[in-house]
């Protein structure tokens, strides 16, 4: 073997290694891009879950306030009915009767108010819907957290492939990246699926 042949073989090996390293570097860049998208998706899902949780809490607080007001008015109407039974004067009886009917109408409005969606029945439905949206956003956030972890590991493993020259590490990084990509799709399209 001549020196020229040996040099040619070394140059070919170096060129092949350089091409492989470039491909692995491209893989790392793609994984980093996917990681950025996963982080953005996770942050958006986290913020949405927080907003939906606040919305649900506010709706339940409003529901409780309506319940307290309704109970107070119902109790006042019942007490006034006792007072009405003892009233002799017709004007007082009429005034008390109108007040009782007004309070009963308000209590009924507190129970259901479809026009404004602020009756107790409507508030329950709205609060449960906000909780369901919160749970979906929370599940999406959980999946994005897993995706971020997978992609970070994939980047580290792929980086190790450049240093060690072990191509299997790059394939492992690519596999983790594909799994992360699939999980990102699940996070967006079916966040409550799987786990």
Cα(8)–Cα(54) distance, integer angstroms: 69
* pLDDT for position 15: 67
Q: How far is Cα 132 from Cα 162, in angstroms, rounded to an integer?
A: 46
10 Å CB burial of residue 76 (0-12, 13-18, 19+) is middle
pTM listed for this prediction: 0.77
Domain ranges of the chain: 26-189
Residues 28, 155: contact at Cβ < 8 Å? yes
pLDDT at position 6, please?
47
Other CB atoms within 10 Å distance of the CB of residue 90: 8
Determine the Cα–Cα distance for residues 28 and 37; give it in Å rounded to an integer. Answer: 14
Per-residue model confidence as pLDDT tens for the chain (195 residues) = 555 454 455 455 556 778 999 999 999 999 999 999 999 999 999 999 999 999 999 999 999 999 999 999 999 999 999 988 888 899 988 999 999 999 999 999 999 999 999 999 999 999 999 999 999 999 999 999 999 999 999 999 999 999 999 999 999 999 999 999 999 999 999 999 876
């Amino acid at each position: 073997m001549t020196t020229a042949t040996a040099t040619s073989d070394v140059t070919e090996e170096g060129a092949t290694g350089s091409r492989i390293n470039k491909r692995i570097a491209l893989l790392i860049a793609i994984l980093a891009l996917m990681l950025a998208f996963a982080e953005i998706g996770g942050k958006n899902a986290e913020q949405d879950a927080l907003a939906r949780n606040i919305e649900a809490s506010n709706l339940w607080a409003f529901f409780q306030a309506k319940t307290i007001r309704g109970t107070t008015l119902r109790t006042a109407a019942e007490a006034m009915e006792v007072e009405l039974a003892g009233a002799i004067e017709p004007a007082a009886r009429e005034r008390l009767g109108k007040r009782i009917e007004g309070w009963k109408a308000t209590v009924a409005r507190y129970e259901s108010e479809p026009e404004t969606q602020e009756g107790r029945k409507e508030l329950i439905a709205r609060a449960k819907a906000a909780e369901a949206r919160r749970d979906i956003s929370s599940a999406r956030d959980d999946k994005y957290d897993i995706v971020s972890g997978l992609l970070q590991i994939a980047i580290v493993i792929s980086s190790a492939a450049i240093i060690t020259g072990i191509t299997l590490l790059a394939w492992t990084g690519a596999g983790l990246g594909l799994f992360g990509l699939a999980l990102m799709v699940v996070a967006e399209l079916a966040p409550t699926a799987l786990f």
